[in-house]
Amino acid sequence: MVALENLSKTFNSKTSVVEAVKNVSLRVEQGEIHGIIGLSGAGKSTLVRCINLLERPTSGKVFLDGEEITAMSNRELRLTRRKIGMIFQQFNLFASRAVWRNIAYPLWRGGLTKKQMADRARELLALVDLSDKENVYPSQLSGGQKQRVAIARALANNPRLLLCDEATSALDPQTTSSILELLKKLNKRLGLTTIVITHEMHVVKEICDRASVMENGEIVESGEVFSLFANPQRRVTQDFIETASNFSKINSMIDENHVITRLRPGERILKFRYMEKSEAEALVSAVSRRFNIDVNVIFANLEWVGDAPLGGIISVVSGDSRNIDEALLYLRDKHVGVEVILDNTRVSETNYA
Ligand SMILES: Nc1ncnc2c1ncn2[C@@H]1O[C@H](COP(=O)(O)OP(=O)(O)O)[C@@H](O)[C@H]1O
Ligand SMILES: [Mg+2]
């Protein structure tokens, strides 16, 4: 559906040269929801603006449905842009136009009568669950309702692709969830291919099929959401995941000699991490029963991606040292990552990871 080939965008000013996007190649399949994550300034917005040529790439090619849009004439490009809708963090509605006129705006020069445009706006309002607001002005709407109007407007021309640049970043968590639900529904019902820029782990987890991580203008990691998050290769990806967990607290607890992390002889603090889609198993009770050890959970950060558990557990494990070693081998066999955080057994030379 979308293919980027060796795309670069450099901004030149009198005083500086910024390589905002560097040699990015990316494919997004028909019907996919693709997340683009990365720190502020990584180049996410520039990359996505290059897809509809709001920003002209310095070099490289953009294909939409197999057609190279970087090679199109202005006229062809105008028609092709109708296949791409876009929404933004700040909604970008016209404050002086009623809701239905905002939505009908992209239809304006398409040769429709006013009634036809109003009908289409009504249809779109129903689709985004905002039927009673057609004659209201944007200032009378909540943030979530404004974003629904912006989504309806983005869909006016029946696009095949929707670009979302931090579309939920200005919304509270509950409203964010309802907008994500709406995006998912549109994706399913209309087969709408969607690209979602976000700095929120939650957004990616909720709706994305695949995701790419950007750093300094480059895509450094890309893949199916589960494998990306279960087994992140890059520091920036790991940090992104950690923002959604409380695991980093364990180190300060150890430093502060917290009562929970003060180990008795034979105890270890271990981190277990699901690395692969495995059958959800009652991990803690299974190993404690099977190997006669105690597993005392300190932190658990488990999410469900589809039917597979993602995340992990930090716990104090105690019991016979050999039994613990066997339990760890068993877990490794089940593709659970094991990391020793603190060990009060002996100087351990075994590497379980
Ligand atoms: N129009 C522009 N002119 C000059 N520099 C820009 C322009 N747009 C973006 N940049 C720079 O390009 C880099 C990437 O910006 P951006 O794509 O907005 O990143 P992100 O969306 O990941 O925060 C930043 O260093 C930013 O300052
Ligand atoms: Mg941005």
- What is the Cα–Cα distance from 139 to 131, expressed in whole angstroms? 17
User: Is 350 a member of any domain?
Assistant: no
**Would residue 353 count as lying in a domain?**
no
Query: Residue 236 belongs to a domain with what CATH number?
Result: 3.40.50.300
Query: Is 282 part of any domain?
Result: yes
pLDDT at 280: 54
46 CA to centre of ligand 1 in angstroms: 6
> Nearest Cα to 239, choosing from 286, 296, 201?
201
In a domain, 202, yes or no: yes
Q: Answer whether residue 305 shows pLDDT above 80.
A: no
With b meaning 16 or more CB within 10 Å and e meaning fewer, what string describes 11-22? eeeeeeeebbbb
Q: What is the largest CA-CA distance in the chain?
A: 81
Query: So what's the pLDDT on residue 281?
Result: 64
pLDDT at 349: 44
Tell me which of 221, 242, 263 is where a domain ends.
Answer: 242
Q: Are 65 and 236 in contact (CB under 8 A)?
A: no
Q: pLDDT at residue 348 above 50?
A: no
**Of 242, 269, 297, which one is at a domain's C-terminal end?**
242
- Bridge partners (DSSP) of residue 316 are 269, 296
Cα-to-centroid distance, 57 and ligand 1 (Å) = 13
**Sign (positive or negative) of CA dihedral 179, 184, 189, 190:** positive
DSSP string for residues in 276-327: S------HHHHHHHHHT-EEEEEEEEEEEETTEEEEEEEEEEES-HHHHHHH
Whether residue 351 is contained in a domain is answered as: no
Residues 6+ apart with CB under 8 A from 69: 53, 62, 63, 77, 80
Cα within 13 Å of Cα(103), Cβ side = 35
137 and 172, same domain (yes or no): yes
Which residues have CB under 8 Å from 324's CB, separation 6+?
268, 291, 293, 317, 318, 345
Q: What Rg value do the Cα atoms of the chain yield, rounded?
A: 25
Domain CATH code at residue 280: 3.30.70.260
Q: Is the same domain home to 90 and 187?
A: yes
> Which pLDDT belongs to residue 238?
83
Atom 7 (ligand 1) nearest CA: 11
Same domain? 235 vs 253: no
Q: Is the CB of residue 346 less than 8 Å from the CB of residue 274? A: no
Clarify whether residues 144 and 108 are in a common domain.
yes
Which atom belonging to ligand 1 lies closest to the Cα atom of 39?
Answer: 22
Q: Does residue 352 lie within any of the structural domains?
A: no
Q: How many domains are there within the chain?
A: 2
Domain match, 183 and 79 both: yes
Confidence (pLDDT) at 175: 95
- Whether the pLDDT of residue 351 is over 50: the answer is no
**Domain boundary residue, one of 216, 242, 268:** 242
Q: What is the pLDDT of residues 140-184, one digit of tens each?
A: 999 999 999 999 999 999 999 999 999 999 999 999 999 999 999
Angstrom distance (rounded) from CA 305 to CA 226: 7
The β-bridge relationship of strands 308-318 and 268-274 is: antiparallel
On whether both 222 and 327 belong to a single domain, the answer is no
pLDDT at 44: 96
- Encode pLDDT of 61-107 as tens digits: 999 999 999 999 999 999 999 999 999 999 999 999 999 999 999 99
Structural domain including 291 reads 249-343
Question: Which protein residues touch ligand 1 with a CB less than 6 Å away?
Answer: 11, 18, 20, 38, 40-46
Residue 350 has pLDDT above 70, yes or no: no
Please tell me the distance between residue 45's alpha carbon and the centre of ligand 2 in angstroms. 4
